[in-house]
Every structure is written in C-alpha cells, then in structure tokens.
C-alpha cells in the first residue's frame, strides 16, 4: 500500500474528525477506494472505535434508481407526482447514522458518468426522500475526501500517477498554516454586510451576509479544505452570475450556467450544455432556487481545475455559490436558514478581470487578496 494512503487515513482520523475510543464510525466509499477504507479500518481499530463499511457504488445506485423509476411509471401515469411516490426515506439507513459519531465519505468511483442515464427528475425525487438521512449525517462529525482513481484522473485530463500526486499533495497540506492564512479573510467577512462579486462582462451580483457567520475550512469537513464560506441572507441576492467553470452532476457535465437572482430567488437560468440536469436541480424544491452558500477559494496548492468540486472550489482565485441548503452553523439567529434537499456548488473563475468587494472595499482583485503580495 502506498504510504500516503495510511497518512491520508490518519489525517482524516486525527485532524478532520478526531475519532476517539468507543465512537461509532461510518466509512462510506466506492470499492475502488478500498485501500483507503482498509487504512481507515486500521486507524479506527487503533483508536478503539467501531467501524461500519458502506459501499458507495454508483453502479448499484444507478440500478436501484432506474428500476424504481421504471416501476413507478408502470403504476401511475400522472407525471411528476409519480416520482414523489416512488421513494421513501430508508429508516434503517437513518438509524445507522443516528447511532453514529463520525462519518467518513470518499469519492473515487471508476466512472464519473455512471449515473448519466438516470433521469434528473428521478434523482431529484430520491434526494427529497433522502433529505432526513443527509441531515442526520451532516449533524455528525463528518469528512468528505477523495481517493485518486483512474476515473477521476481521466476527468481531470491527467495520468493516474500525476493525479495521485495532486490529490495527496492537496490532502497533506500544512493545515495549521492554511488556517492562519484563511483567518485573514474570515476577519474581513465577519461582521460585514454587503458582498459584491464582479467578473468579466456577465457576472455582477450583490448579497448581504449581515448577521451570518463565516467559517474557516482547513481540512475538516472537506479534505482537502481551503475555503472560507458563509450563507447569504436568503432574500438579499440580486444580479447575474455566469458560472464559467463546468460542473459535474449525475455524471453529466453542465457548462456555461447563467443565473439571474431577484430578491434572492433564481428567476431565470440557462446552461450551454445539459440544461435539463439543471432543471432537475431547480425543480427539487423551492429552496433549490435560493443560494445556501457563498464560498471563497483560498488554497494555493490546488493549482489546476480537475472538474471535481471538492478541489475546484478551493482554488485560490475562485468563488463559488451553492443553490440549496445552507449550513446551519453559518446562519445567524436573526436570519432564515435556506432549506433544501439540494446543495449544488457552482464556480466563477476570478483569475482575470474580477473583483470581490466587501462593504464597498475591494478585497480581491484578479484572484489576489488584499492581504497577499501583488495586490494592487
């Protein structure tokens, strides 16, 4: 086993989640990531905790979702409602998470397009049914990380070995130093009111973050981490955004997303490619039409786009906004936390012709922060 896999497992156990004796741990990852799961079982055993090992198989999920969708079609014939009836919250899975302390999820399937032939409406209906499970899982100490497989290397346009180096370099960062670097941006945002983001000809959006909390992500819930993030005040978002980085959703690449917000709500949208996947997202529930997160990437060690949100959104010259559920810990008592079964991050490249303004002050220009060398 590559020694970096054991190091990865130790970072997850000690830095990201703090696994302790007697705790119940869920380890959920696809079979291609088994070596990381083996290393995690070793660490979990060493710390005196108890593992349950779920196989996050996209092939199995696809088979289930398609079969259930077919089934509902034969039973009913009244359009969208059929999907609502087709799924129920799996109470055994819910019970598993209720009794757990820590959840470790790794991506790393063989084929990122595995769910590309599941209808977006089916996925949306399934997500609605799974929302209580997701909510329970997110209430635990959790970590989402990546195992470098050939499928994800291919997505990034990299050799498998180069991608392994990329992933483990990103995972093995000096997280204390990263935390301090990011704290400078947290300080700017905490207590601030208006954030305005402009990029190129098409992006100019303004939102309030007044009363909400900005969190510093240094490799805990996401590994790699490397962003600061908060929640926009639900109805405050106004303007237009051109998300110029593609995103993968259900195995399909959505390109060139354009969204117009009015009083916080997505009033119109388009995509240059696979717009129907976006329809599925926005039709999931009303909360999917509002922003749940504003995130600012600050990890300079992630130096290229790999079409994987876990990495791309952390890049030092990007911002991302997520439609759907807000993180409750970001939302102040006076404000409404946006609720949704969705949480879909989309990225704006801020490297050129871009500024972030906070309460009228420019805090990032063309990807360089005000507290970094080279800011003009």
Interface residues with its own copies (CB under 8 A) are: 22, 24, 26-27, 31, 34, 37-48, 50-57, 59-61, 63-68, 70-71, 88, 90-100
At which residue do the structure tokens 């992630």 appear? 302
Closest to its own copies by CB, 68 or 260: 68
Nearer to its own copies, 88 or 334 (CB): 88
Q: How far is the CB of 152 from its own copies (least distance, A)?
A: 18
Q: How far apart are CA 376 and CA 372, in angstroms?
A: 10
**Residue 364 beta carbon to its own copies: minimum distance, rounded to whole angstroms:** 43
Output 341 or 358, the one with its CB closest to its own copies: 341
What is the distance between the alpha carbons of residues 133 and 95, in angstroms, rounded to a whole number?
Answer: 9
| Residue (103 or 302) nearer to its own copies, CB | 103
Please say which residue, 24 or 338, places its beta carbon nearer to its own copies: 24
Q: Measured from the CB atom, is 94 or 144 closer to its own copies?
A: 94
Distances (CA, A) of 359 to 224, 244, 362: 30, 25, 9
* Residue 193 contacts residue 359 (beta carbons within 8 Å): yes
User: Closest approach of Cβ 339 to its own copies, in Å?
Assistant: 23
Where are any strands of DSSP class E within the chain?
A: 24-29, 50-55, 102-107, 141-146, 194-199, 203-208, 215-217, 222-223, 227-230, 238-243, 247-249, 252-254, 257-262, 265-270, 291-297, 318-324, 343-349, 354-358, 361-365, 368-369
- C-beta of 124: minimal distance to its own copies in Å? 16
Residue 87 or 243: which CB sits closer to its own copies?
A: 87
* CB 97 to its own copies: min, Å: 8
Residue 92's alpha-carbon distances to 49, 56, 123, in angstroms, are: 21, 16, 20
For residue 354, the minimal CB distance to its own copies (Å) is: 43
**CA–CA–CA angle 166, 168, 173 (5° rounding):** 100
Q: How far is the CB of 346 from its own copies (least distance, A)?
A: 30
CB of 159 to its own copies, least distance (A): 24
Which among 298, 219, 164 has a CA at the least distance from the CA of 16? 219
Minimum CB distance to its own copies smaller for 60 or for 162: 60
Of residues 6 and 265, the one with the C-beta less far from its own copies: 6
Report whether 213 contacts 332 (CB < 8 A): yes
Q: CB of 147: closest distance to its own copies in angstroms?
A: 13
Residue 280 CB, shortest distance to its own copies, in Å, is: 18
Place of tokens 């992500």: 217
- Determine the Cα–Cα distance for residues 368 and 346; give it in Å rounded to an integer: 20
Q: Which is nearer to its own copies, 100 or 145 (CB)?
A: 100
- Is residue 247 within 8 A of residue 253, CB to CB? The reply is yes
Side-chain half-sphere exposure of 14, counting CA atoms within 13 A: 11
The Cβ of residue 312 has, within 10 Å, a number of other Cβ atoms equal to: 23
User: Residues of 110-140 as b/e, b for ≥16 C-beta within 10 angstroms?
Assistant: bbbebbbebbbbbbbbbbbbbbbbeebbbeb
Give, rounded to a whole angstrom, the gap between the first and last alpha carbons of the chain: 47
């Amino acid at each position: 086993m590559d020694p970096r896999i054991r190091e990865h497992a130790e970072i997850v156990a000690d830095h990201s989640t703090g696994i302790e004796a007697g705790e119940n741990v869920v380890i959920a990852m696809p079979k291609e990531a088994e070596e990381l799961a083996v290393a995690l079982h070793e660490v979990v055993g060493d710390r005196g905790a108890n593992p349950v090992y779920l196989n996050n198989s996209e092939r199995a999920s696809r088979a289930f979702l398609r079969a259930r969708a077919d089934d509902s079609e034969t039973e009913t014939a009244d359009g969208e409602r059929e999907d609502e009836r087709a799924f129920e919250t799996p109470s055994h899975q819910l019970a598993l998470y209720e009794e757990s302390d820590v959840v470790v999820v790794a991506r790393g399937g063989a084929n990122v397009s595995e769910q590309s032939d599941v209808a977006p409406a089916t996925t949306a209906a399934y997500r609605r049914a799974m929302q209580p499970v997701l909510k329970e899982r997110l209430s635990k100490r959790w970590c989402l990380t990546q195992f470098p497989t050939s499928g994800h290397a291919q997505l990034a346009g990299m050799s498998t070995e180069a991608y392994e180096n990329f992933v483990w370099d990103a995972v093995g960062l000096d997280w204390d130093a990263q935390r301090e670097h990011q704290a400078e941006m947290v300080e700017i945002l905490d207590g601030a009111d208006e954030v305005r983001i402009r990029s190129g000809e098409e992006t100019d959006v303004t939102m309030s973050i007044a009363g909400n909390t900005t969190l510093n992500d240094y490799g805990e819930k996401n590994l790699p981490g490397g962003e600061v993030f908060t929640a926009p005040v639900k109805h405050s978002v106004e303007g237009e955004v051109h998300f110029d980085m593609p995103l993968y959703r259900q195995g399909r690449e959505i390109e060139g997303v354009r969204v117009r917000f009015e009083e916080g709500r997505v009033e119109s949208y388009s995509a240059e490619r696979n717009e129907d996947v976006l329809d599925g997202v926005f039709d999931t529930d009303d909360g999917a039409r509002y922003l749940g997160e504003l995130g600012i990437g600050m990890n300079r060690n992630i130096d290229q786009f790999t079409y994987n949100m876990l990495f791309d959104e952390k890049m030092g010259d990007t911002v991302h906004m997520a439609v759907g559920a807000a993180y409750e810990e970001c939302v102040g008592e006076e404000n409404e936390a946006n609720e949704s079964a969705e949480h879909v991050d989309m990225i704006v490249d801020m490297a050129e012709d871009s500024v972030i303004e906070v309460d009228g002050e420019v805090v990032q220009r063309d990807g360089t922060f005000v507290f970094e060398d080279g800011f003009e």
